[in-house]
Structure 1
Amino acid sequence: MLIAILTDLHANREALEACLAHARQQKAGRYAFLGDLVGYGADPVWVLDTVMDYVRQGAWALIGNHDAALLPGDKQGMNPTARKVVDWTKEQLRPDQVEFIAQLPYRIEWEDILFVHANAWAPEKWEYIDGVMEATRSMHATRASITFCGHVHMPTLFHLSLTGKTGEFLPTPEEGIPLSKQRRWLVIPGSAGQPRDGNPAACYATFDTDTQELTYYRIPYDAETACQKIISAGLPPALGHRLINGN
């Protein structure tokens, strides 16, 4: 089965549409959405409705910190720009969408795979995997051979050898990577809705459970339209401009 893994959608309709269309072309049989469905972007209603529809058809979905910020009682710290978008997003959503977010889990385990938004050691605390040290901590915190993780907006792959040594490398898009069962893996697909590595193309990945092959993708999309929607909604223009620049 081919699983399409998308994370950090950030209410970016144009990016999500492009990624889903590409995943359908690859004949993905199941989908995993690793959180931060909303925040930053101008289409939270459409993005949530789309994810909700996929979940009804058997997809997995997790809660991210921007999603959790919409719920009553959330006290996490956010910068003023992110908080402004959260407040705006609250005014857009229907009660059933907020209810959907409230029931999303922090982690999902399936066979030998773990899906989380932030990390495996404390997914509810939203700590980042910024490098080898945090990646090692996360891989040691689970028995799963493969962890798929969001929160970080740059595509990266970590692996832990039998001797306990952790390696890190930046994947090349569209080049299949066999994930040996002799190692543990931590896969960060990168952000579909707000890439930050200088490349504005949306990020997502697929994993073939039969061949154990992982593939990263970069998908061009209409970032200009997504940018203009952000500005027209009265949200901080910088959030739109960064989509065009990919930073």
Structure 2
Amino acid sequence: MRIGLLADLHANREAMEACLEALQQAGCTRHVFLGDLVGYGADPGWVVDVVRAQMEAGAVAVLGNHDEAACSPPDAAGNLRMNADARAAIDWTRKHLDPGQLDFLRALPLQVTEADRLYVHANAWAPGQWSYVASRLAASQSLAATPQRLTFCGHVHDPALYYTQPGDAAHFDPHPDVAIPLLPARRWLAIPGACGQPRDGNPAAACAWLDTETDRLTFLRIPYDHERAAARVREAGLPDALAQRLLTGA
């Protein structure tokens, strides 16, 4: 089976559509959504509805910090920890989701285990505290917190792959369209990158897919109409910096 992996969709319809099409072309028959379905972008309701339909067909989705913020009161701690642009986007998002969509987000689990895989938005050691796996030390801490051989997470908007070795986990930056064998003697943590708001200087949407039969992982970068997505952000009255970020990928 080939499983599509998407993280940090951030209400970006154009990016999500492009990634789903690319994953379908790659032969994926099932998807995992690694949190932050909403926030920043102009189409939260559309994204939530698509993920909900995918889950009815067997997909998996986990809760992200922006999802939690959107279905929490404005003065909740998670909202207050966000920067001004993120808070403004969450306030806007909350007003553009209906009660059923908010209930859907509220019911998402923090993590899901399946076979030898863990799916989580932030990390395995404290998934509801939203700390980042942004270093070899943090990757080691996350890998040590779960017995699962493979961990897939988001939250960090740059693609990355870590694996166990003596000392801190090893890290490398994956190249798109190169199948990586996930050797069984190692344990792995993969971050597919952000579908809806890349931050590595490349505006192309990021995602990945796992072949469970060959135990190979392939990262993808998918060009999409990011200028249209940025225009939609501006048309919605969201902070201009969020549109600019889509244009530059930074």
Q: What is the aligned counterpart of 1:137 among 110, 116, 141?
A: 141
Distance 1:183 1:7 in 2: 23
Count, aligned residues: 246
One-letter code of the match for 1:51?
V
The question of whether the paired residues in 1 share the 8 Å contact of 2:137 and 2:168 is answered with: no
Deviation string, structure 1 residues 115-157 (Cα, Å, up to 9, x no partner): 0000000000000011000000000000000000100000000
Deviation of the 1:238 alpha carbon: 1.2
- Tell me the residue number matched to 2:71: 71
One-letter code of the match for 1:220?
P
The answer as to 2:186 corresponding to 1:180 is no
Question: SS at 2:174's partner residue?
Answer: coil
Question: SS at 1:90's partner residue?
Answer: helix
The question of whether the paired residues in 1 share the 8 Å contact of 2:157 and 2:199 is answered with: yes
- Tell me the residue number matched to 2:213: 210
The question of whether the paired residues in 1 share the 8 Å contact of 2:136 and 2:168 is answered with: no
What stretches of structure 1 of length at least 5 have no aligned partner?
none
Match runs of 1:58-207 below 5 Å: 58-73=58-73, 74-76=76-78, 77-161=81-165, 163-207=166-210
Please give the TM-score of this superposition, normalised by the length of structure 1: 0.98
The answer as to 2:7 corresponding to 1:7 is yes
Deviation of the 1:71 alpha carbon: 2.1
Question: SS at 1:72's partner residue?
Answer: coil
Distance 2:39 2:70 in 1: 9
Deviation string, structure 1 residues 29-72 (Cα, Å, up to 9, x no partner): 21000000000000101111111110111100011000000223
One-letter code of the match for 2:17?
E
The answer as to 2:247 corresponding to 1:244 is yes
Distance 2:96 2:135 in 1: 36
One-letter code of the match for 2:117?
I
- Tell me the residue number matched to 2:223: 220
Instruction: Return structure 1 stretches of 4+ with deviation > 3 angstroms.
Output: none
Question: SS at 2:87's partner residue?
Answer: helix
Between the two proteins, what is the percent identity of the paired residues? 51
Deviation of the 1:166 alpha carbon: 1.7
Deviation of the 1:164 alpha carbon: 4.5
One-letter code of the match for 2:202?
N
Deviation of the 1:165 alpha carbon: 4.7
One-letter code of the match for 1:206?
W
Question: SS at 2:86's partner residue?
Answer: helix
Deviation string, structure 1 residues 140-198 (Cα, Å, up to 9, x no partner): 0000000001000000000003x455210000100000000100100000000000000
Q: Tell me which moved more, 66-75 or 12-21.
A: 66-75
Question: SS at 1:207's partner residue?
Answer: strand
What stretches of structure 2 of length at least 5 have no aligned partner?
none
- Tell me the residue number matched to 2:232: 229
One-letter code of the match for 2:171?
E
Question: SS at 1:27's partner residue?
Answer: coil
Distance 2:183 2:24 in 1: 26
